[in-house]
Structure 1
């Protein structure tokens, strides 16, 4: 056991005041005098808000992401192209590609998928899709344009995709089926 010397008793001190002192409110007599024409010493502060700085869409909307901060666009374009073709044939539900497509692309793909799904149930045939090649072009730091060659059933088809880096993922912003 170690022996410690008796220490001084604890002193409790008030916490330091970190806010400026308030402006005292007028008393009843001062309020009556103010009613008679005297001005009040209190002036309400205004918030420093700049509404012209940026719009809500710029602050809270989708944010651009550079290509080097995203997965390999070649592999990603091959996977999403196969998924989009399967949705358009009615083999895959459209909700599986919703996160990876713009609203315009999603509407087109989902509409084609619902038509193909109705046709497929009547014929009972399903398509098999396989990606052969992917060619890339990067016109901007957050944009990749891909042309995908794939085998769709017994046909060779081409798909052109415009991928944009948004919110740390690739999003299909344009789609052309050939």
Structure 2
């Protein structure tokens, strides 16, 4: 068995990057004299009167051409919303795809259903049968979704708005 040499502690090497040479006062004067226009301190060109913070940083509308197919998307989100309302799926999964008002309603119904749910209730499955779509404008569509929910046939009416390159459920009516 070979003995390992003792551990030696050395100080970390000092490393300083090379600095950027700054122009001398005389060189700066010569450059200013050669310049065709006088030097103006750099400023950020911002027009604070043109738009509000909400208009610049808030949700931006998206055209239907930039978005996924509304019919397929309505079918998927309708099934997800009904599963949330039954307490089968957590509400956080649909938060990004719904407006705050719709999310509050769906989450509240889901929490109520989750409290009264029994083990045999979890066996039923939601299945979308048909989707009817009406495009109201280039960034707004309304969908009526017919689905089988357990043993019942139900209808959902959704208003989809194109925001930030995705469809968002802005209004929901459950029948």
TM-score, normalisation: structure 1: 0.73
For residues 87-98 of structure 1, the aligned pairs below 5 Å read: 87-98=84-95
Per the alignment, residue 57 of structure 1 pairs with 54
How far residue 47 of structure 1 moved from its aligned partner, in angstroms, is 7.8
Unmatched segments (≥5 aa) in structure 1: 1-13, 23-45
Name which of 113, 119, 125 aligns with 2:121.
Answer: 125
Q: CA deviation at 1:128?
A: 1.1
Aligned residue among 32, 38, 51 for 1:20: 38
The secondary structure found in structure 1 opposite 2:83 is: helix
Greater Rg over alpha carbons, structure: 1
CA displacement, residues 126-175 of structure 1 (integer Å, 9 cap, x when unaligned): 23100000000011110010000000000000000000000000000000
Q: Please report how far the alpha carbon of residue 52 of structure 1 lies from its aligned counterpart in structure 2 after TM superposition.
A: 2.5
1:163 aligned counterpart, secondary structure: strand
Which residue of structure 2 lines up, in the alignment, with residue 137 of structure 1?
134
RMSD: 2.5
In the alignment, structure 1 residue 171 sits paired with structure 2 residue 168? yes
Runs of 4+ with deviation above 2 angstroms: 14-22, 46-52
- Count of aligned positions: 143
CA distance in 1, matches of 2:54, 2:39: 39
Tell me the secondary structure at the aligned position of residue 54 of structure 1.
coil
2:80 to 83, 108, 123: 83
1:70 has 2:88 as partner:
no
> Which segments of 5 or more consecutive residues in structure 2 lack a partner in the other structure?
1-26
